[in-house]
Each structure stands twice: as C-alpha cells, then as structure tokens.
Amino acid sequence: MAFLSITTELGQVRCGGFLIRQDFVLTAAHCNGLEDKARLTKAVQLLPLPQEGEEVMPGDVCNVAGWGNTRARGFVLPSKLQEVDLKVVEAERCWCWCYHWFDSTTMLCVGDPWEVEKSTFRGDSGGPLVCDGMAQGIVSYGKNDGSPPRVFTSISAYVP
C-alpha cells in the first residue's frame, strides 16, 4: 500500500496506490504518480495482478485499504491505514444507484448498500481491491456522501 501526497495547482491531493513493480506504483487515473524506486523488504512487497479477463464475481468478499476520509459529514483523515472487507455486488446495483455511466466491462461495483458503515471515500482513490491475495480493482469514485456501492476500475480489463 502506498500513500501519495501530491501538490497540484489546486492544493494537496491524497491518494492510495500499490506496488506492482519495484519502480511502478499503480493508482487511479486522477492521481498523479511520483517517480521513485522502492526497496523491496519483508514489509514492502509487490501485489500481483490478475490475468487478462480474470474476473471477480458478485458475492466475492475482498479487502480495500486507504487513508481517506472516515466521516460522511465533516472531514476526518486518519493517521493510520484503515482497511475494510467489501462485497462485490451485481453491476445492476451501480446502474440503479446513479452511476449511469457505469461500464461493467471495465468497472466493478463494490459495497453492499445495506452495510452503510463499510465503504471507501475521498482520499482512498488509487488503493487496491485485493481478492484472494491479488489486486483485482482500483478505488475510483462514488456518491458524494460516501455510501456504497462504489465504483472500482477492473484491473483485468487493462492487463493486455
């Protein structure tokens, strides 16, 4: 898990990311990466990527981590990494929940709308959705109140 703090003309941007090569942190498209080389140690390891077309299925429970906002009202940034297990849900849940631009060929719908206390939020963008030890998704976006479901980029759609 990588923490990216990027200075832009609009101010500081906080994002997550993850190491897929010693010299490459994968993050969300709207997060700018930094050029540097990681030193692999017992605590710093690469996160494997799926094969082309390998999919996670609705009902699969995966893990996501980040340093994003922890409150729907107000802005509370944690000082330590937060993590939560989230369920992959049917694509229809994202089409029905105001994500009319949702594309199931390149995106994943993640988070049970009935488990409102479990979600990603602002500042978690770029972090990995880890299913069975493999990065299957990237935290991308969701509703402004942070409620699930949320949209993740499907990594296997871009592996080629």
Sole residue written with tokens 């802005």: 75
Q: What is the CATH number of domain 48-157?
A: 2.40.10.10
b/e per residue 83-120 (b: at least 16 CB within 10 A): ebebbbbebebbeebebeebeeeebbbbbbeeeeeebb
Q: Which residues contact 144 (CB under 8 A, 6 or more apart)?
A: none
What is d(CA 40, CA 122) in angstroms, rounded to the nearest whole number?
29
Identify the band that residue 100 occupies on the pLDDT scale cut at 50, 70 and 90. Answer: confident
Residue 155's pLDDT is 96
pLDDT digits (tens, 9 = 90+) for 37-91: 788 899 889 999 999 888 899 999 999 999 988 887 778 888 899 999 999 999 9
* pLDDT recorded at residue 33: 56
Residues found in the chain: 160
Please state the pTM of the whole predicted model: 0.88
Which distant-in-sequence residues (6+ apart) come within 8 Å of 42 by Cβ? none
Task: Please write the tens of the pLDDT for every residue from 104-159.
Answer: 999 999 999 888 788 999 889 999 999 999 999 999 999 888 889 999 999 999 98
- Tokens, residue 88: 């992959």
